[in-house]
Chains A and B, each alone.
Chain A
């Protein structure tokens, strides 16, 4: 039986909004096994991104628990959660989130360097080669197109060989051609490394490449649909 890497139990999240509390997530539970490709879909304001943030330890729930790689995130300090993210997770964001003052190569190297590893450049170069940017190593983010920036972000996400990858609307800022390239890369490398993928998207076509879709509405999971593996 596949190992469960991520378990969300009765997650609730609310934010203060003026004088009242705004409930964004309402009693959400799900699990994700190793190697799973899970897409979270739903209309704007349904709580997808909030759920992703809580699962990745970027925020803490108002109630409920998140267990990532066996760690109870609620009980950990912010710095310990950061360490955990560095050890086990990767991220791809809609707006790429590259460090603007670092070159493509340096951006990719950061997660490994943070671990204190040495001689990380060959691995970073190989990954940039893999995403088709071997000739853009020393370019800064502002010198790259949106598609290229997202490919750098994918290389950065995979350089630590993460157990679990969180992707928030990875094609949201890209045109169709670039989106297709990025999706192919994301799923391609994911397939090779057997990384668990948690993907937030509006795009049904993209979601269909996952093997499971959680559909959200009003802060709740309204459908948990398992797809046949293509």
Chain B
């Protein structure tokens, strides 16, 4: 034998220069694109979610930057809870700036067309507000009519609700106003503001004539200032700052409002972008899953190529090129879909911010989406595809040949990058490393918990396998344990979508449960406030005349803290080592006096002391639990109150746990009887009003007889809160739906993956006598099991997660809307069955002979 070659010189080319690879990738792909549909679909959903939220963020930022001044309608706003001192008006005059102003208060308004009444935010305007942006009215001359003093304007939502048109009249306090028109848009306003507190606008000159501003009325005053530019704004602020501080006013600037709004929006954006991130991560699982299936299907062909002389890398690159091309295509479609979806989201967001968000296409967001898509395509395809490199050529002779080698640097690099990817991606999405790490960690924990629940459930099924069930049920159940069936992975991915939606439902239900007291029997649903002492008896009689229960009549005295544990509040406010929030130290407290606990209260520490005249330290107050923690005080600590100019020293005798939503009003501080009884005070009454005519009649008589008394209808608040929840929940559900869709794509992939095993199994069953109907039953039951188990996995974790969120984050009691909760489970099961069935048609319809021949 001639040993004529000692070593071999193999020509190797980089893949971009190896034309054969590109040619093979193209030839092979001609008939394979449909097989990679799952990959494209996974990327489309993931990238669409990211791009839509990213685009929205860009649009929001642009809108905020370009229309910042419209947020205030002025360069500068001064706020106060009392009438402005003439000295500040004079100071602004001498600064040479233009000034307008308003006064805002809560008040009842009666609509004369129907006789109905409602609590509104009454805004009395003067001057040329707004200086920036437009106050859009209908008709356009409504504002000038209103300024005459005889007319009022009202928010569009209010006009619609009470079917008010021009020529109708309103009764505000003691005065009648004709309706000048509706306000469509006002700087600083927004759909949310007008939903929560719809406004009625009158001229400032007309406010006094309503008789609404009395002792105890809470009125907020604002001065809107227009300057000649930024420099002038700064110099004006500097010039009035000492006066503003002395008079305890607050200054609001455009930058401040923008920052505040920006921070709020940033939190909302972070939340939504992280939901989009969940969809992206599930998309990644979808990509990896579909490529895994593809690589398995290609195993035989790779073996042939290896036999004919292709290297492992050449084989890998053929499929990598295909997958990457499709990945980019999926990203492109996803980005386009995301941009389209983004156009619908502002409809929801418009409710939350007082600016119109234009429907612009955000190219940076689309670019980011494409880049992310490319990254995901590379990262999540390498790991499953790397197996192609190690397909042994011997597979052409023996299908069960073991892979050539198991260790691969590429495989381990891909695993490492895949672990790091969620951290980087979440940090990028949320623009915060801490949030990124936290979220990626949280997601890992959630996935881990889901996996644990899934494993536990499957173990339970195995342990308690229903051996006595009929063949069809037993066979369908045992199919879940078929090798390569990915049952656990499916339970986790589908369960994750169900988990998000079910958790959302739990949180929503729990939060709404806090305000649903209005629906409970015997609890107050109507609060009458601002009752003057002289009106108290009359209002009580009116309530009784209407045979309404008088649940509470309590006095309210306003006061502030002067000293806390012997330290003056002013000193504490300047002490940086004090961690008590400024608002808690400087706020106005509305307190009451009584010698017993209300039914919404429970004494958790100390006791209730009655007033004993003459004794030292005789005034003992109780404090609510939350505020006791905020003010860092305990039983026995001393406080000095400033009760409308009179200092009053007191000690804490007890701490009350207050169930705030239950039977309002409830109080932070409760004094004993006999201490502040003589202080200037107003009264609040709580009753329960029924539906319809009874309520209208009572409200009408109250407004007619006591125009300054305001009526707060808690049912109205409940429905407003509910509608807000509905809007937010819509967006969350929408994004969670992406997760479910991606989970179902993974399911479809898994069904396709196990298709050939199923076909063989079904053929065998049919050969030995199973009827088509039985095979169909087995298929449907198998996916029903899978759906139920996936739903159970997600819902079990949702209960735990929902409880944790309610307990530790929202601090409310867990409330589960069982119908909604099980509806989620049912929907997940139904979708799973539908997808499973749709992808199994071929399995069911394949004639036995066709398979047996192939064998």
**B-contacting residues of A (Cβ < 8 Å)?**
3-4, 7, 31, 49, 52-53, 56-59, 67, 69-71, 76, 78-80, 82-87, 91, 93, 97-102, 106, 110-111, 113-116, 140, 156, 168
Extra contacts, 6 of them, besides A82-B310, A100-B301 (Cβ < 8 A), are A53-B398, A59-B392, A79-B311, A79-B312, A80-B8, A82-B306
A94 (CB) vs chain B CBs: closest residue? B397
What 9 pairs between A and B have smallest CB-CB spacing? A86-B309, A4-B1, A79-B311, A58-B394, A70-B3, A83-B10, A58-B393, A101-B28, A59-B394
Q: Do B4 and A70 touch across chains, with their CB atoms under 8 A apart?
A: yes
Cα separation A97 to B300 with both chains bound (whole Å): 8
Q: Do A99 and B394 touch across chains, with their CB atoms under 8 A apart?
A: no
B725 within 8 A of A: no
A7 (CB) vs chain B CBs: closest residue? B1
B23 within 8 A of A: yes
Q: Do B31 and A114 touch across chains, with their CB atoms under 8 A apart?
A: no
Q: Can you identify 6 A-B contacts, CB atoms within 8 angstroms?
A: A57-B393, A85-B309, A97-B396, A99-B28, A102-B27, A114-B308
Tell me which residues across on chain B come within 8 A of A111, comparing CB atoms: 308-309
B90 within 8 A of A: no
A3 to chain B, nearest CB (A): 6
Tell me which residues across on chain B come within 8 A of A85, comparing CB atoms: 307-309, 393
B103 to chain A, nearest CB (A): 78
Find B307's partner among A58, A80, A87, A100 (CB 8 Å cutoff): A58
Cα separation A52 to B398 with both chains bound (whole Å): 12
Residues of B297-329 contacting chain A, CB below 8 A: 300-301, 303-314
Cα separation A70 to B52 with both chains bound (whole Å): 63
B646 within 8 A of A: no
B309 (CB) vs chain A CBs: closest residue? A86
B30 (CB) vs chain A CBs: closest residue? A101
B11 within 8 A of A: yes
Q: Do A76 and B307 touch across chains, with their CB atoms under 8 A apart?
A: no
Find A82's partner among B24, B309, B396 (CB 8 Å cutoff): B309
Cα separation A99 to B308 with both chains bound (whole Å): 11
Cα separation A79 to B398 with both chains bound (whole Å): 19
Known: A3-B1, A52-B397. A83 touches B308 (CB 8 A): no
Find A79's partner among B10, B300, B307 (CB 8 Å cutoff): B10
Cα separation A56 to B309 with both chains bound (whole Å): 11
B298 (CB) vs chain A CBs: closest residue? A101
B800 within 8 A of A: no
Cα separation A139 to B314 with both chains bound (whole Å): 25
Q: Do A99 and B396 touch across chains, with their CB atoms under 8 A apart?
A: no
Cα separation A168 to B20 with both chains bound (whole Å): 28
Q: Do B311 and A70 touch across chains, with their CB atoms under 8 A apart?
A: no
Tell me which residues across on chain A come within 8 A of B312, comparing CB atoms: 78-79
Q: Do A91 and B8 touch across chains, with their CB atoms under 8 A apart?
A: no
User: What count of chain B residues pass the 8 Å CB interface test?
Assistant: 39
Find A78's partner among B2, B308, B404 (CB 8 Å cutoff): B404
B32 within 8 A of A: yes
B849 within 8 A of A: no
Tell me which residues across on chain A come within 8 A of B306, comparing CB atoms: 78, 82
A200 (CB) vs chain B CBs: closest residue? B397
B467 within 8 A of A: no
Cα separation A215 to B11 with both chains bound (whole Å): 39
Residues of B216-230 contacting chain A, CB below 8 A: none
**A-contacting residues of B (Cβ < 8 Å)?**
1-5, 8, 10-11, 20, 23-24, 27-32, 300-301, 303-314, 392-394, 396-398, 401, 404
Tell me which residues across on chain A come within 8 A of B309, comparing CB atoms: 82-83, 85-87, 111, 114-115
Cα separation A56 to B310 with both chains bound (whole Å): 15
In this complex, which of B30, B303, B311, B401 has the most chain A Cβ atoms within 10 angstroms of its Cβ?
B311
B4 to chain A, nearest CB (A): 5
Tell me which residues across on chain B come within 8 A of A59, comparing CB atoms: 392, 394, 401
Find A99's partner among B2, B304, B392, B401 (CB 8 Å cutoff): B304
Q: Do B397 and A168 touch across chains, with their CB atoms under 8 A apart?
A: yes
Find B1's partner among A70, A80, A87, A113 (CB 8 Å cutoff): A70
Tell me which residues across on chain B come within 8 A of A86, comparing CB atoms: 308-310
B142 to chain A, nearest CB (A): 72
Q: Do B404 and A93 touch across chains, with their CB atoms under 8 A apart?
A: no
Q: Do A80 and B10 touch across chains, with their CB atoms under 8 A apart?
A: yes
Tell me which residues across on chain A come within 8 A of B404, comparing CB atoms: 78
Known: A58-B392, A67-B1, A93-B396. A83 touches B20 (CB 8 A): no
Cα separation A70 to B5 with both chains bound (whole Å): 6
In this complex, which of B11, B309, B392 has the most chain A Cβ atoms within 10 angstroms of its Cβ?
B309
B738 to chain A, nearest CB (A): 33
Q: Do B8 and A71 touch across chains, with their CB atoms under 8 A apart?
A: yes
Cα separation A79 to B30 with both chains bound (whole Å): 27
A98 to chain B, nearest CB (A): 8
Find A58's partner among B4, B11, B305, B396 (CB 8 Å cutoff): B396
Tell me which residues across on chain B come within 8 A of A93, comparing CB atoms: 396-397
A84 to chain B, nearest CB (A): 6
Cα separation A114 to B304 with both chains bound (whole Å): 13
Known: A58-B393, A111-B308. A116 touches B1 (CB 8 A): no
A132 to chain B, nearest CB (A): 22
Cα separation A52 to B11 with both chains bound (whole Å): 27
Tell me which residues across on chain A come within 8 A of B28, comparing CB atoms: 99, 101-102
B24 to chain A, nearest CB (A): 8
Q: Do A53 and B308 touch across chains, with their CB atoms under 8 A apart?
A: no
Known: A86-B308, A93-B396, A168-B397. A113 touches B20 (CB 8 A): yes
Cα separation A93 to B311 with both chains bound (whole Å): 20
Cα separation A67 to B312 with both chains bound (whole Å): 22
Q: Do B2 and A3 touch across chains, with their CB atoms under 8 A apart?
A: yes
A57 (CB) vs chain B CBs: closest residue? B393
Known: A3-B2, A116-B11. A101 touches B394 (CB 8 A): no
Tell me which residues across on chain B come within 8 A of A52, comparing CB atoms: 397
Cα separation A194 to B31 with both chains bound (whole Å): 38
Cα separation A111 to B11 with both chains bound (whole Å): 15
Cα separation A161 to B351 with both chains bound (whole Å): 76
Tell me which residues across on chain A come within 8 A of B392, comparing CB atoms: 58-59, 78
Tell me which residues across on chain A come within 8 A of B304, comparing CB atoms: 97-99
Q: Do B307 and A97 touch across chains, with their CB atoms under 8 A apart?
A: yes
Tell me which residues across on chain B come within 8 A of A84, comparing CB atoms: 8
Q: Do A99 and B305 touch across chains, with their CB atoms under 8 A apart?
A: yes
A76 (CB) vs chain B CBs: closest residue? B8
Q: Do B10 and A71 touch across chains, with their CB atoms under 8 A apart?
A: no
B13 (CB) vs chain A CBs: closest residue? A116
A112 to chain B, nearest CB (A): 10
A118 (CB) vs chain B CBs: closest residue? B19
In this complex, which of A52, A57, A84, A114 has the most chain B Cβ atoms within 10 angstroms of its Cβ?
A114
B153 to chain A, nearest CB (A): 72
Q: Do B301 and A101 touch across chains, with their CB atoms under 8 A apart?
A: yes
Cα separation A79 to B316 with both chains bound (whole Å): 13
B393 (CB) vs chain A CBs: closest residue? A58
Cα separation A88 to B30 with both chains bound (whole Å): 31
B305 to chain A, nearest CB (A): 7
Cα separation A101 to B304 with both chains bound (whole Å): 13
A158 to chain B, nearest CB (A): 13
A130 to chain B, nearest CB (A): 19
Q: Do A110 and B5 touch across chains, with their CB atoms under 8 A apart?
A: no
Cα separation A144 to B392 with both chains bound (whole Å): 27
Cα separation A47 to B258 with both chains bound (whole Å): 80
A203 to chain B, nearest CB (A): 18
Tell me which residues across on chain A come within 8 A of B31, comparing CB atoms: 100-101, 140
Q: Do A114 and B393 touch across chains, with their CB atoms under 8 A apart?
A: no
Tell me which residues across on chain A come within 8 A of B398, comparing CB atoms: 49, 53
Find B394's partner among A4, A53, A70, A100 (CB 8 Å cutoff): A53
B754 to chain A, nearest CB (A): 20
Cα separation A59 to B394 with both chains bound (whole Å): 6
Tell me which residues across on chain A come within 8 A of B1, comparing CB atoms: 3-4, 7, 31, 67, 70
Q: Do A114 and B394 touch across chains, with their CB atoms under 8 A apart?
A: no
A230 to chain B, nearest CB (A): 27
Q: Do A49 and B397 touch across chains, with their CB atoms under 8 A apart?
A: yes
Cα separation A59 to B311 with both chains bound (whole Å): 15
Tell me which residues across on chain B come within 8 A of A102, comparing CB atoms: 27-28
